[in-house]
Every structure is written in structure tokens, then in C-alpha cells.
Amino acid sequence: MNKIKTKTAKIIAFLMSIVLICGGTGAIAYAAGSKSQNTSNSADSLSSGTTTASQEASTAAFDTSETASAPAKEETVYVIADADGNTREIIVSDWLQNAAAADSLSDLSTLTDIENVKGNETFDLLEDGSTLWAAAGNDIYYQGTSDKDLPVTVSIRYELDGVPIQAADLAGKSGHVTIHFDYTNNQTETVSIDGEDAKLYVPFVMVTGMILDNDVFSNVTLSDGKMINDGDRTIVLGLAFPGLSDDLQLDTDTIDLPDSFEINADVTDFTLATTMTLALNDVFSALDLSEADSLTDLSDSMNQITDAMNSLLTGSSDLYEGLVTALSGSSKLSESLALANDGANTLKNGSESAVAGAGTLVSGLHDLTSGLSSLSANNSALVEGAKSTFLALLSSANDSLASSGLDLPELTIDSYPVVLSQVIDSLSETSVYQTALDAVTQAVNANYDVINEQVTAAVREQVKAMVLASLGYTSDDYDMAVAAGLIDDTTQAQISGAIDAQMQTENAQATIQATTKQQISSLIDQTMQGEEVKAQLEAAAAGKESLEALLSQLNDYNTFYQGLITYTSGVASAYDGSVLLQEGSGQLSEGISQLSNGITSLSEGITAMSEGSTDLTDGLSQLTDGSKQLMDGLTAFNEEAVQKVTDAINGTSGNIISRLQGVLDAAALYNNYSGISDGMNGSVKFIYKTDSIQ
């Protein structure tokens, strides 16, 4: 019986959290002592909703008891889409966990272009279509591509000043923008509900993150999710549960689980960076309802809560009314002791009801603190999950850079901006041109002696022609005369000596040096204008553009990652606040109990009131204000949370416990996207990345 009560309490907490996600934050606002919350400027106004959705997101994917040595497959599906959500490419990253350190691992996969991304292990394709990896005791990390239909499709619609507009046409526009994210659940599983087969949607939690520049976006509102504004940027986390309302068959007038969310904002020169959407289905596996009782037990439990809340409300109302009566009568206490005595009796009855109701409130706050404690405990795992994705992106980038021939230090979360920026700077047109010019100049200068020798020969021919012209010969006539034996050796020696003497003159040597320098400069210019240098410049420009795109992509994810760290820090702060609230509720309960005892004494000692009527009036005035705040807060909490959950449970057709269990069964059945071998544990998550709008 105690187990049934425990399971029922978990269900009530689950439904109460859904109310707080989807039904507003009024109850929390009153409990905290504030009468209103503004979603657009409060970083914590929806922390209860979003943390409930991510409560089990980082729970270990696989059983660690009986199947601790079984192989497991963890799958991450990256969906690359345009700004409207249309899928362009699906890249799947698989991690085969070799828990038993086996020599080989059998795997079933529908992926194409499979490649090992983190080792040298190879695989063989078997006749049955499966793959056999030569693991040698290692885990296997591989990736491939797929064109298989996705379990959840994401569609994005845009409006500018109420008129639909395409994403490509929105860049640079100004006005009031509406961005609507629709999630369509395409994945169903057949499960047993109360002995009958039923087809249910596989439950997915969809969390979409984006970063809005506050210079572009203002007056931002969000239908479902959370926003964090640091002054320069607004980080938006949208939340949806496509198909879950249909699965649970809840009264949507009371509890409406969103399958979409919408952003509204005023924009100037519209631009939007990449959006990232995370789809998880294993967060539902943490709740086990196998020992929970029927809907009647759940309704009875909620009715008990309702009765307790009504008693607490009645008591607080009576307390307030009695205090007002006592306060008005205290000024005439000496003439109307009988009236004061009646008021004291009314206070006594109301305080007894308030004591009972306060106990129920303390118990509820204890459950709330426990839930927030669980969320806070999972913060580290959630951040580590996002960090793992970041590291996977960096690993892929490192592999791509290495395969392109770039010898760079390994990119890390801390180092990638500096490393990539330095490489990008080195690939600027000026830098690459100067490098090529230095290399060409060095190569041409290495042939200086050859060029100088050629120039010297050419100048000698000119000097020879000048000397022969003074004797009445041309170079051709002289060579022919020498060949015919018409010029004796002595004359030839004299002419050669004259040429040698002329070559040693300062003018001839200056001509040789100037011509050699000119030839070198000309060769350098011709080489720099050649196709080889042009090809180097073009290749450098293309590489620089690719690296700039990579740096931009990593910066976008880094911003999302840092925002997630800020978000989890907010969860921890919410938990700390709930602890303080729980401590305060205990003090409130104790104070109401003491008040009840004091009112009893007041009834017995009404005669002595006349001597201290002035002090009593002041005290009753303060007490009246406090009881009014208590009554208002309890009324709001009853209307915003307790009554919504009670109405939803009482208005549900069929057994909600069985349908909840069916949802969990459907979640457990879907553990892979690209295939999985029999006997292998599995988990899968989807990451959707859209193009930016620039």
C-alpha cells in the first residue's frame, strides 16, 4: 500500500509540473510573495517548467545491472536543415560501447558511407546485411549518412507584420516578427493498455535554442519555454511535447501540452543565427508506474489534497475575518467585551483549520524541494552532454582540417578561436601574395650567376660589333673573313684584346649589372603573373572562406553551450530558493499553531484585554495584514495548480495511470534510428541545426 501511495504521489507531482510548465506561473509567483511574473524579462519565471522537461535528460542511457557487460549503441542524429526547417542532410554518429572488451562487435545499420572516425578498426559486411567490426576490445565510433524519415519533423514559419514571409526574404527587414516552430510526431508504437493494443506516439521532449541579438530583437515574448537576457543577447529555449496530449487524452482546456511554440518580437534589420533543436525520448524512462493503482486511487488522492486546500482556505478566510472583527472592536474593547469574545471564538475555530491546512502545505513544499533537488543533481550531466556534443563538433573539425593537409594544433573549446583566427589571418590575400613573392624572388636569385653570364655574353656581342664597326667590318663579315683565312692571327688577337679591354671599362660593367638586375626583376614579375601563383592565391581564398565558416559555426554552438551553463546555474539557484521556502513554510506552520494556542488563551482571558487594548490594536493590525496575504496566496495556489490538476484527472477518460505506463512503454521501444542488433542496448537523440538568416 505504501508503494501505491508513493507511485500516486509521483504521478501527482508529474501532473503538477505539467500545469506549471503549460498553465502559467501564477502559483509560483504567489508562493514567492509576488503578484505577477513577466515572461519576457524574468530569467526564472519558467524555471520550474523547463527543468521538469529536462529532469531525466541526462539519466544513464543503459541498464547497469544485469546488462552491464552487454554491448550498447548510443546514437546521435544530426539533421542539417534550411531556415524553414527543410532537411538537407542527415549525418548519424554511432558509439558502440564494448563493455565486455570483445574482439569483435556485430552491428546492424542502414547507414551509407560508413567510416570509422576515432580509430583504425575495420568491419566486414555480412550476408544478412549486418556489419562485423574487428574491435580488438575497443569501443567503436563511426558515422554515416541516411535518408530515412525522421521520427519528428520540424517546420518553421515566419510572419512580418502579420503577413507570411519566406526566410530568405526576411533578412534585413524591420517590423513585428512572428516565428512559429511546429513539431510533427511521425513515430508510433503499439503497446498494451489495460489488456488492449493501442497505437501511441513515441513521446519526445523538443528543446529549441537560439540566440537573439538585442540590437535586432526587442519586446521578445515566448509562448512555451524560457528566456535568459544578459543585456546584449536574449537566449531562447522553446519547449514542446508533440503527440503527448493525444497519448494521455487529457482535457486540453485544463492542461494543454504544447506541440509547437511561438516567438514574437519587434525587429530592426532582421538577422538570425543558427537555431539548434534537441529531441529526446528517454527522459520518460525514469518514471515507473508498474505498482501504481487505478485512476480512482489517483482521483482519491487529489480529492484529499483538494479537501485539505479547502480546509486551509476556510481557515485562512476565517482567520482573516476574525482578525478584522477583533481589530474593529479593539478600539471599543471596554464597551464591547462580549462582541470581542464572539470574535475570539471564531478565530479559534478558523485557526484550528489553518493548522491542518498548513501541515498539508509543508508536505507539498517538501515534495517540490525534492523534485528541484533531483533536477539540480542532473545539471552537471546535462552540461556534460552539451560539452560532449561540442567536443564531437571539434573532433570532426580536427579530422577535416587534418585531411585537408593543414598541420594545426588540436582544436579545443578554449583554443579554437585563437588557432582558427591565426590560420585565417595567414590566408589573407596580402599574406599569401607576400609569401609567394618571397619564394619566387629566392628562386630567381638562386640563378643569378647564369643570368649574369647570359647578360655578359650579350654585352660582349654588342662591344664586338662596335669594335669591328670601327675597322669597317660587321660581325658577320668578320666571322666569314676569319673563316676564309683572310685575317691573320695577329690581327685577330689585336681585335680580341680590344674587345676584352672594352668589356673591362666601367661603362660596360655598369651595363652588365643593370641589365642583369632588370632581367631578374622581369623574371620575378612574369612568374608572379603566372597561373601557378594565381592558383595558390585562389586556393588560399577558398580555404580562408571555409575556415571562417567553421569558426562561425563553432562560435554559434559555443554561445548555446555557455547559455546552457547559465541555465543550469539558474536551476541550482531555484533549488536553493526552494530550500529557503520550505524552511519558511515550517516556520509558518509553527507560527499558525502558536497562533491557535494564543487565540484559545485569548478566549479565556478576554477580561484582561481592556488593560492592554492599545497594544492589542497594533498587534491585531499587523496580524490582519499577514493573514490577508496568506489567504490571497493560498487562493491563487489552489486555483492555479491544485484545482487544474484535480479537474484534469477527474475529466480524463480511461485510466490515466495505464496511459502513462503505455507512453513509457512506447518510449522504451524506440531506442535507435539507423538499426540495432538483437540483445544490444540502445539510446538515440536528435540534434536539428538550421541555417542562419543573414
Dump pLDDT digits (tens) for 404-437: 777 788 899 998 999 889 888 877 778 778 888 8
Residue 359 has pLDDT above 80, yes or no: no
CB burial of residue 378 (10 Å; 0-12, 13-18, 19+) = buried
User: Taking 50 as the threshold, does the pLDDT of residue 308 lie above it?
Assistant: no
Q: What is the pLDDT of residue 379?
A: 84
Q: What is the pLDDT of residue 526?
A: 86
pLDDT of 339 over the 60 cut: yes
Residue 116 in this model has a pLDDT that exceeds 70: yes
Q: Is the pLDDT of residue 207 over 90?
A: yes
- The three three-digit cell numbers of residue 586, written as one number: 515550517
**Mean local confidence (pLDDT), 609-630:** 56
* Calpha distance 659→662 (Å, rounded): 5
Looking at 48-52, 328-332, 433-437, 527-531, which range is the least confident one? 48-52
Question: What is the model's pLDDT at position 581?
Answer: 75
Q: What is the pLDDT of residues 492-525, one digit of tens each?
A: 899 989 999 999 999 989 999 999 999 899 888 8
Distance separating alpha carbons of residues 286 and 72, to the nearest angstrom: 19
Mean pLDDT confidence for 320-325 = 58
Instruction: State mean pLDDT over 440-452.
Output: 89
DSSP character for 171? T
pLDDT digits 0-9 by tens, 584-603: 777 767 777 776 777 677 66
pLDDT surpassing 60 at residue 250: yes
pLDDT of residue 620: 52
C-alpha cell at 274: 543558427
Residue 278 confidence class, pLDDT cut points 50, 70, 90: very high
Residue 672: helix, strand or coil by DSSP?
Answer: coil
Highest mean pLDDT among 144-148, 332-336, 642-646: 144-148
- What burial letters (b/e) apply to 533-564, b meaning 16+ CB within 10 Å? beeeeeebeebbeebeebbeebebbebbbebb
Among 4-18, 334-348, 677-691, which is the least confidently predicted range?
Answer: 4-18
Residues 21-40 pLDDT 10s: 444 333 322 322 333 333 33
- At residue 411, the 3 state secondary structure works out as coil
Task: Compute the average pLDDT of residues 638-643.
Answer: 49
Find the mean pLDDT for residues 442-464. 90
Asked if 162 and 627 touch (Cβ cutoff 8 Å), the reply is no
**pLDDT exceeds 60 at position 46:** no
Mean pLDDT value of segment 299-324: 53
Average pLDDT score over residue span 83-110: 95
CB of 91 within 8 A of CB of 145? yes
For residue 436, the Cα-to-chain-centroid distance in whole angstroms is 43
Q: Does residue 103 surpass a pLDDT of 50? A: yes
Residue 278 Ramachandran class (φ > 0 left, ψ -120 to 50 alpha, else beta): beta
Q: Three-class SS string for 220-253?
A: EEECCEEEEECCCEEEEEEEECCCHHHHHCCCCC
How buried is 653 (Cβ within 10 angstroms: 0-12 exposed, 13-18 middle, 19+ buried)? exposed
Provide DSSP, 75-86.
EEEEEEE-TT--
Strands (DSSP E) contained in 342-451 are: none
**pLDDT higher for 27 or 549?**
549
CA distance 299 to 576: 32
- Asked if pLDDT for residue 239 goes beyond 50, the answer is yes
Determine the pLDDT at residue 237. Answer: 93
- 46, three cell numbers: 519558467
Which range of 60-74, 172-186, 541-555 scores highest in mean pLDDT? It is: 172-186
Determine the 3-state secondary structure of 157 from DSSP: strand
Cell numbers representing residue 160 in the block: 512580418
Segment (H or E) for 222: strand 217-222
Q: 44 vs 232, which has greater pLDDT?
A: 232
Higher pLDDT pick, 541 / 338: 541
Tell me the three cell numbers of residue 412. Answer: 579545443
Tell me how crowded residue 469 is: count the other CB atoms within 10 A of its CB: 12
Helix, coil or strand: residue 349: helix
Share of the chain above pLDDT 90, in %: 38
Q: How far apart are CA 365 and CA 676, in angstroms?
A: 43
Phi and psi at residue 103, to the nearest 5°: -70, -30
Q: Show contacts of 667-671: CB within 8 Å, 24+ apart.
A: 667/202, 667/203, 667/281, 667/282, 667/284, 667/285, 668/285, 669/189, 669/191, 669/202, 670/151, 670/187, 670/189, 670/202, 670/281, 671/282
* Cβ neighbours around 528 below 10 Å, total: 15
Residue 164: pLDDT band by 50, 70, 90 thresholds?
A: very high
- At residue 8, the pLDDT reads 43
- Residue 334 is predicted with a pLDDT of 55
Confidence of residue 171 (pLDDT cuts 50, 70, 90): very high
Instruction: Look up cell 549503441; give the residue.
Output: 73
Edge-to-edge strand list for the sheet holding 105-107: 105-107, 131-133, 123-125
Quick check: 339 and 330 in contact, CB under 8 A? no
Interval 335-355 mean pLDDT? 66
Asked whether the beta carbons of 44 and 576 are under 8 A apart, the reply is no
Quote the crossing angle between the two packed helices 2-22 and 295-330, to the nearest 10°: 70
> What does the alpha-carbon distance between residue 574 and residue 589 come to, in Å, rounded to a whole number?
22
- In the chain, % helix, strand, coil (3-state, to 5) comes to 55, 20, 25
What does the block give as the cell for 3? 508503494
Report which DSSP code applies to 259.
S
Count of Cβ atoms closer than 10 Å to residue 570 Cβ: 17
- Contact assessment for residue 95 and residue 683, using Cβ atoms and an 8 Å cutoff: no
